Amino acid sequence: MSFTIRRLDPTDLPAVRALRLEALQAHPTAFGASYDTESKEELESYYRRLGNLIYVGGYVGDELVGISALMPLPPGNSAHITKLVSVYIQEKARGTGMSSAMIQTLIGIASRLKFEQIILTVEAGNSHASMLYERLGFVAYGRHPKSLKIAGRYYDELLMHLDLVAAGA
């Protein structure tokens, strides 16, 4: 399956929202946000989010089937760090290399924007995702116990980072 990766903009908002809600509903343990809360948000809140995040999308033809984003930390002493968030690929596009391509695109963007680190969290039981991040150079540096609580059940998250300076990115 061939695909393309490109940076998303406000014209992509309807497709981003639909894909994000699909992700939250299908894989609630992969996200800090919940479908119930986010599905009730006004479309304007998505415009604000898209404006604050650096989204890339994976396309098969004209169809958006994958999203991922960088969330720069607020100005101040942590302004050199950005966080990888909202990574999701529809099942039909998994195993194609799209996830890796999207994240590598974001690593390149982070480097060009002079970020020094990318951090992320991943549900501790999601070995496919954590192995992908490790292959891309991310290193686990901690575990947040009971980070998520969904339907009365707790889930731990691994904390990972990529040092862009050390990686020469």
Per residue in 147-162, pLDDT (tens digit) is 999 999 999 999 999 9
**For 37, how many CA atoms within 13 A lie in the half-sphere containing its CB?**
7
Global pTM exceeds 0.85: yes
Closest CA to 8 of 42, 56, 47, 40: 56
Distance in angstroms (rounded) separating the CA atoms of residues 123 and 129 = 9
Average pLDDT (10-19) is 87
pLDDT tens column, 122-147: 999 999 999 999 999 999 999 999 99
Indicate if the pLDDT at residue 41 is higher than 90: no
Residue whose pair of structure tokens reads 């490109």 in the numeric block: 6
pLDDT tens column, 22-40: 999 998 888 888 888 888 8
SS3 4: strand
Distance in angstroms (rounded) separating the CA atoms of residues 122 and 160 = 8
Average pLDDT (86-113) is 95
Centroid of chain to Cα 14: 18
- Assigned fold of 4-163: Aminopeptidase (3.40.630)
Q: Where are the domains of the chain?
A: 4-163
Indicate if the pLDDT at residue 42 is higher than 90: no
DSSP secondary structure string for all residues of 84-129: EEEEEE-GGGTTTTHHHHHHHHHHHHHHHTT--EEEEEEETT-HHH
Distance in angstroms (rounded) separating the CA atoms of residues 71 and 50 = 10
DSSP secondary structure string for all residues of 51-84: HHSEEEEEEETTEEEEEEEEEEPPSSTTTTEEEE
